[in-house]
Amino acid sequence: MLVKCLKGSEFLLQDEYGALIQPNLRLLPTSSGRLDGWTFAAKDNIDVEGYVSSAGNPDWLRTHPPAERSAKVIRVLLAEGALLVGKTHTDELMYSLNGENYHYGTPKNPRDPTRIPGGSSSGSSVAVAAGLVDFALGTDTGGSVRIPSSYCGIYGIRPTHGRVSTEGVIKLAPSFCTVGWMAASASRLAEVGRVLLGLDPTKSSDPMPYTRCVVATDALNLAESGLLQECMNAVSRIFPSFQTVEMKSLSQEGLDLWLWAFRTIQSWEIWETHGDWIEETKPTFGPGVAERFAAAKTVTPDRVDLAQRIREKARARLRELLGDDGVIVMPTAPGPAPVLNWDKALLDEWRSRAMQLTCPAGLAGLPQVTMPWLELNGLPVGFSLLGSAGDDIRLLQLACRMEEN
């Protein structure tokens, strides 16, 4: 494939927010298409030919060779006319939701620089929120596109697991990992989606609209007290789009149990994927990340077996709630982005609440779109649409209709 790579100060973006780890990287479009004239950035765990992805860690950067080929998602976007203008910061090995990198620093949240941007797709969300690019690629295992999108006040999507290629992507836990994307508008998010989801532009791709809306009451209970009314106001705005609106709990066992199952399976897969490299290289990890990898090493097969059974119950429950005509709505995060250098115990508790909101989509492999519809104390919080497997374009089109209203 013919790809021209441009380097030089004349092409540098004015990245005052520290979103980019490789700001002098350029890949020109390989063809003309639906994204002509659009610029994008890619998280630094997505391969670009001739470059080494750091995955947010200097030891990973040191011990891995340059990519022989760009990731499939990048090749698809270049073939549709988009221009790659840089690689973005990520948390270490994508194993955090905060966006604070011990080695490379923390991108500034454009909505409030005193607060974290969210991770692990921190740089990608900041690049979009700061207007550096038209859209950005991230990856989402446990919430790493949805949470930073929420904190930075932009649109983001975690697609159906396996729906978008992860070829050429450094993964954290393969059965959960997805390539997602972010944009400042629902319409732009949807247009990128039509490309990455492989929809033929010459054919109609309009699925049947949803008729039922399920408001996740247990998810609402995890939100900050002042956010509840904001959520209900958002729900009232979308009433006309549905024949029925139902108030139901996602989990009959409790979202905390679903999170335990998610973390157990995720940890097992993480150690299966990266344990050998960690044991051989003995990399330096920052606070929090080091402890999580150490804990991942201790997960036993019997715990994984129990977690898998809980996962199957979660999948069945979500299939029951969604049917073939339902969409679930819920807050994306418990509230606005926490402040920088927050107390560790408080941040750990917040991370647990956030992951109770993000784990349902991960456990069931479902698509989820987050929209910057909520606000608390002048700061953004995402409002999420969760759909059935394969409902990616249906969710994106619903988000577009909501944006127009």
Q: Are 156 and 132 in contact (CB under 8 A)?
A: no
> Cα(125)–Cα(137) distance, rounded to whole angstroms?
9
Q: Which of 121, 125, 144, 388 is catalytic?
A: 144
| CA-based R_g, the chain, Å | 20
> Which residues, 6 or more positions from 173, have their beta carbon under 8 angstroms from its beta carbon?
141, 265, 266, 267, 269, 270, 273
The residue assigned the tokens 């409002």 is 383
What secondary structure letter does DSSP report for 3?
-
Nearest alpha-carbon partner for 49 in 74, 68, 28, 31: 68
Q: Are 43 and 139 in contact (CB under 8 A)?
A: yes
43 belongs to the catalytic site: yes
Give bridge partners of residue 156 from the DSSP assignment. Answer: 182, 370
Q: Which of 53, 70, 120, 124 is catalytic?
A: 120
CA-angle at 393, arms to 160 and 310, nearest 5°: 25
Q: Which of 43, 72, 108, 171 is catalytic?
A: 43
> Cα(385)–Cα(378) distance, rounded to whole angstroms?
22
For residue 95, which amino acid is it?
Y
Q: Are 391 and 158 in contact (CB under 8 A)?
A: no
Active-site residues, by number, are 43, 120, 144
